[in-house]
């Protein structure tokens, strides 16, 4: 696999020493340009760079659909670590946020309090409508489908995954990456390219549920977000304010439904 590498390792267990080969996930930087300006640099699992770049621009509010995009390609030097997003003429006229005002959702720390963040979000992102209900037991088959697709994780144990489903539990997109944010952005980017971004209703994540992940789901207009690991306090408050059903530590047969439990039958 292009995203997995074999390396030499000395394994110790007490006094026992064994030299062997270990599979590790490849981690490399990706620089995303919008037109001629570098906007983001993120560490990622190689592959699916254009869906990642598009998804990142979408979840950060730079684009709202593929109507805002004139094209997306690797840079002129053919480096796999550089992608350029070309905006439509209509989107260019709206302008881009200046460098000092950018606050990409992938960063997990800031200098403002949680209530300020939530207040800003509720003014810029509409509350997600309640249109979907799903049986609790069905969530586990969706989660299992995501786990089965995690090829790099099965080999290395070092990657996260995200899967998107429609309101009936139908599979839409999957992505895997060393970064949990990147995995979700990649999956969203795939839906953008397929013109199916509005079909996503349920988001399954292999990671903990943080504020940033809830914000990405809110921009996607997803109604239900689940994670294998725990949820942070700000993630719970944000999901509650934006009308999202947040389910943490989802591991068959249990899960903690923190917000808007009426969607779960």
Rounded Cα gap, residues 38 and 42, in angstroms = 12
The number of helix segments (H) and strand segments (E) in the chain equals: 8, 12
Helix (H) or strand (E) run with residue 59 in it? helix 49-59
Distance of alpha carbon 114 from alpha carbon 127, whole angstroms: 18
Q: Determine whether 110 is an active site residue.
A: yes
Distance from C-alpha of 213 to C-alpha of 261, rounded to nearest angstrom: 19
Report the alpha-carbon distance of residue 122 to residue 174 in Å, rounded.
28
Residue 122 burial (C-beta neighbours within 10 Å; 0-12, 13-18, 19+):
middle
N-terminal to C-terminal alpha carbon distance within the chain: 40
SS (H, E, C) 100-150: HHCCCCCCCCCCCCHHHHHHHHHHHCCCCCCCCCECHHHHHHHHHHHHHCC
Check 57, 75, 110, 113 and give the catalytic one.
Answer: 110
Q: How far is CA 116 from the centre of its chain?
A: 23
Q: What is the CA radius of gyration of the chain?
A: 19
Positions marked active-site: 110
């Amino acid at each position: 696999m292009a995203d997995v590498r074999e390396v030499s390792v000395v394994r110790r267990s007490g006094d026992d020493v064994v030299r062997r080969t270990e599979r590790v996930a490849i981690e490399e930087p990706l620089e995303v340009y919008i037109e001629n300006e570098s906007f983001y640099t993120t560490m990622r699992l190689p592959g699916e760079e254009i869906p990642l770049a598009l998804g990142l621009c979408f979840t950060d509010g730079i684009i709202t659909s593929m109507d805002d995009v004139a094209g997306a390609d690797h840079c002129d030097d053919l480096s796999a670590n550089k992608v350029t997003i070309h905006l439509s003429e209509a989107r260019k006229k709206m302008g881009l946020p200046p460098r000092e005002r950018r606050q990409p959702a992938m960063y997990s720390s800031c200098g403002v309090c949680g209530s300020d963040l939530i207040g800003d979000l509720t003014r810029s992102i509409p509350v997600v409508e309640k249109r979907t209900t799903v049986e609790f037991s069905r969530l586990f088959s969706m989660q299992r489908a995501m786990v089965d697709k995690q090829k790099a994780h099965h080999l290395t144990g070092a990657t996260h995954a995200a899967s998107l489903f429609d309101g009936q539990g139908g599979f839409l997109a999957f992505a895997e990456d060393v970064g949990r944010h990147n995995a979700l952005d990649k999956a969203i980017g795939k839906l953008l390219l397929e013109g199916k971004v509005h079909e996503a209703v349920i988001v399954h994540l292999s990671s903990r549920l943080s504020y940033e992940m809830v914000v990405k789901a809110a921009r996607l207009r997803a109604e239900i977000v689940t994670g294998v690991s725990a949820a942070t306090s700000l993630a719970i408050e944000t999901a509650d304010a934006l009308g999202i059903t947040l389910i943490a530590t989802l591991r068959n047969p249990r899960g903690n439904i923190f917000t808007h439990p009426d969607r779960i039958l």
